[in-house]
Structure 1
Amino acid sequence: MKKTVFTPVALALSAALAAGAASAEVESNDPIKITTHDWSGQIISATLMGEVLKKAGYNVEYVQADYLAQFAGLKTGDLDLAMEIWATTGQEALDEAVASGGVVNFGESGMKAKEEWWYPSYMEETCPGLPDWKALRDCAEAFSTAETAPKGRYLGGPVTWGGFDEERVEALEMDFEVVHAGTDAALFAELQSAYERKAPIVLWLYSPHWAPEKYEGKYVEFPPYESACYTDPAWGENPDAAYDCGKPTGPIWKAGWAGLEGKWPGAAKIIRAFHIENPEMGEMIYKVDVDGAEIPAVVAEWMGAHESVWQGWLK
């Protein structure tokens, strides 16, 4: 996981990308505060958006914030822009924030989100019936660790990601214990270790990301998500509990402070125009997480190869 640390190299990149843009007319020289979180893809999105805004002459500040807790700052204007609100885990928070009047949905990023339980294909030998989720009821112990036995272990993402996995386990009466990885990097380091040893594992995997392409496996097939699943206990497999279904899928949204458009109308147009798709993002994440490249360098490389794309966002 590459944290947002502004080294001399990163600062030099920012200056280089902004070169020639200082004369551009901007509505306010106050920095546009863009949030960064704890997974590489989101930091890439935030950095890419920020560097393009700098090319248009805007000042940008990157602010590390919790994924769900950031909405408090977006409502008040202490934060200005969030580049990745996943419909899979952040839709309810986004809808509430927009309804409050403090936050605006700036549209789809172009990326499509999928987040779900995932297992390597070799686990089908010890847990026949997969990918049907009901198979996990019969072979939970096959996914156990010394810490969770006889319960199976589900390795979730960092707790700040949300996702209702504890509620899902309880609602579907699965004999699993949810254990949260401390960071995005820790999550995938454990996947790599287990995969190399063919050790038992079921964990949170998501796309856009490189892991579903690199490793052979499948997403668990839970009852399909419907909005009532999260709000109406009477819906679904368990008539007494909500969250008895899989996670939703959908767009990855851009969202920001409701005052952003009035303060920086030109920037708002650029933000709305931002568009990148899963394959391109997956390639950049791979370069950072697997090849060990620095995020500023990866963003600069993409901008150099796709100048006509991001220049189009400025028009």
Structure 2
Amino acid sequence: MLKKLSAAALVVAAGFAFSAPPAAAAGCPVKDTIKFSGLDWASNHFHVSVASYMVEKGWGCKTESIPTTTAPSLNALAKGDLHISMEIWYANNREIWDKMKATGKVMEPGGVSITGAVQGFYVPRYMIEGDKKRGIKAAAPDLKSVADLAKHAKLFEDPEEPAKGRFYNCKIGWNCERVNTKKLQAYGLDKTFTNFRPGTGEALAAAIASAYKRGKPVVAYYWGPTWVLGKYDMVMLKEPEYNEEIWKKLDKAKSGKGMKATAYPTIKVIIGMNKKFAEAAGPITTMLSKYHLDGDSVAKALVFMKENKDKTGAKAAADFLRKNQTIWTKWVPADIAAKIKASL
């Protein structure tokens, strides 16, 4: 059962209080509580906190962030159980999202929550180049690509299955877990590596951080912008250059065995909405059509979240709104911007 967390509660907990007026208050274009996809990773928490705060303070609406994972969130968006998803990684979810758009139940307002997002298989740079300051010798100077992993599997020994290396995948429920599982099969790495899925996104980050701090080998899927790639010097291993035809075939396949694989594309992360809600929400939909942040801006927010132990993104949202008024004031009318400014 999904636990509901109100955006108001998140923001109060983060240290800047507000009291959201009822959804029916003058100015809010919709009567119902606006429900955001509470996808469980940091950048989504940040975007939801930014959008929620702007909607609550600008229009007097009530919002909730509903904890969920990728596929269930998209289905809920189509059904109207959720209204807004601030992060749809289109390349990872192409098939399901295109099918949903074809039904006319969801739409893209046009906003982009992250430009230049990257994904891939990463190892610490010290494994390849060493680190004199830390007294670490290069364990695998010839490790350049995913194809090189098999011969270095012993470096990444899985304590539960010592004959194989351990590959840190996404958690089950994230679409990247499904993609990476098929990639391991396509590259033949399932023969030399275990496919380890941490229970949470935080656990995946913690595994990388723990290995890095100890100067140990680790290979994992990760994505950017994130605080992990911002803080730790990681190298993305080369894969065959992105090929859309190969990507589509692998995405649709049930297994990657006997198939070709390709690198993740560099993508933009889009915003999705329930279509009926979008039509009713008017000015909020317009705001989300103009919402646009680049990878550097998001990376700064994520580092802020990590340094300030801001798990909800509420503190980072307030910091962003205070310091970047030339950016977000372009998303809303002047009178709405004035209300938001006054609340900060």
Partner of 2:336: none
Could you tell me whether the CA contact under 8 Å between 1:75 and 1:257 is conserved in 2?
A: yes
Partner of 1:29: 31
- CA displacement at 1:201 relative to structure 2: 0.4
Whether 2:150 is the aligned partner of 1:133: answer no
Taking the aligned partners of 2:71 and 2:219, their CA distance within structure 1 comes to: 24
Partner of 1:121: 125
Taking the aligned partners of 2:32 and 2:249, their CA distance within structure 1 comes to: 45
Partner of 2:316: 298
Partner of 1:50: 52
Partner of 1:190: 207
Which is richer in helix? 2
Unaligned runs of 5+ in 1: 234-238
| Offset from partner CA, 1:145-166 (integer Å, 9 cap, x none) | 2213221111012122222111
Q: TM-score, normalised by structure 1?
A: 0.88
Whether 2:245 is the aligned partner of 1:228: answer yes
The residue type paired with residue 329 of structure 2 is: Q
Whether 2:276 is the aligned partner of 1:273: answer no
Could you tell me whether the CA contact under 8 Å between 1:155 and 1:178 is conserved in 2?
A: yes
Taking the aligned partners of 1:12 and 1:137, their CA distance within structure 2 comes to: 48
| Offset from partner CA, 1:235-267 (integer Å, 9 cap, x none) | xxxx97345222232110100101122211111
Cα RMSD after superposing both structures? 2.6
Whether 2:234 is the aligned partner of 1:217: answer yes
- CA displacement at 1:279 relative to structure 2: 1.5
Taking the aligned partners of 1:183 and 1:47, their CA distance within structure 2 comes to: 20
The residue type paired with residue 224 of structure 1 is: E
Report SS of the residue matched to 2:46: helix
Whether 2:305 is the aligned partner of 1:288: answer yes
* Matched residue count: 306
Whether 2:263 is the aligned partner of 1:246: answer yes
- CA displacement at 1:110 relative to structure 2: 4.2
Taking the aligned partners of 1:184 and 1:208, their CA distance within structure 2 comes to: 14
Q: TM-score, normalised by structure 2?
A: 0.81
Whether 2:183 is the aligned partner of 1:168: answer yes
Report SS of the residue matched to 1:44: helix
Could you tell me whether the CA contact under 8 Å between 2:114 and 2:298 is conserved in 1?
A: no
- Residues 52 and 8 of structure 1: CA distance in aligned 2, closer, same or farther (over 3 Å): closer
Taking the aligned partners of 1:195 and 1:12, their CA distance within structure 2 comes to: 32
The residue type paired with residue 144 of structure 2 is: P
Whether 2:113 is the aligned partner of 1:109: answer yes
Taking the aligned partners of 2:24 and 2:76, their CA distance within structure 1 comes to: 28
Taking the aligned partners of 2:321 and 2:331, their CA distance within structure 1 comes to: 12
- CA displacement at 1:80 relative to structure 2: 0.5
| Offset from partner CA, 1:24-52 (integer Å, 9 cap, x none) | 53332212211111111111101101111
Unaligned runs of 5+ in 2: 129-137, 251-255, 334-344
Report SS of the residue matched to 1:117: strand
Taking the aligned partners of 1:172 and 1:187, their CA distance within structure 2 comes to: 22
Taking the aligned partners of 1:266 and 1:243, their CA distance within structure 2 comes to: 45
Taking the aligned partners of 1:35 and 1:14, their CA distance within structure 2 comes to: 22
Percent of residue pairs bearing the same amino acid type:
22
- CA displacement at 1:22 relative to structure 2: 8.9
Could you tell me whether the CA contact under 8 Å between 2:52 and 2:63 is conserved in 1?
A: yes
Taking the aligned partners of 1:240 and 1:118, their CA distance within structure 2 comes to: 22
Could you tell me whether the CA contact under 8 Å between 1:33 and 1:79 is conserved in 2?
A: yes
Taking the aligned partners of 1:15 and 1:278, their CA distance within structure 2 comes to: 29
- CA displacement at 1:76 relative to structure 2: 1.2
Taking the aligned partners of 2:211 and 2:223, their CA distance within structure 1 comes to: 17
Could you tell me whether the CA contact under 8 Å between 1:105 and 1:254 is conserved in 2?
A: yes
Whether 2:168 is the aligned partner of 1:155: answer yes
Report SS of the residue matched to 1:223: coil
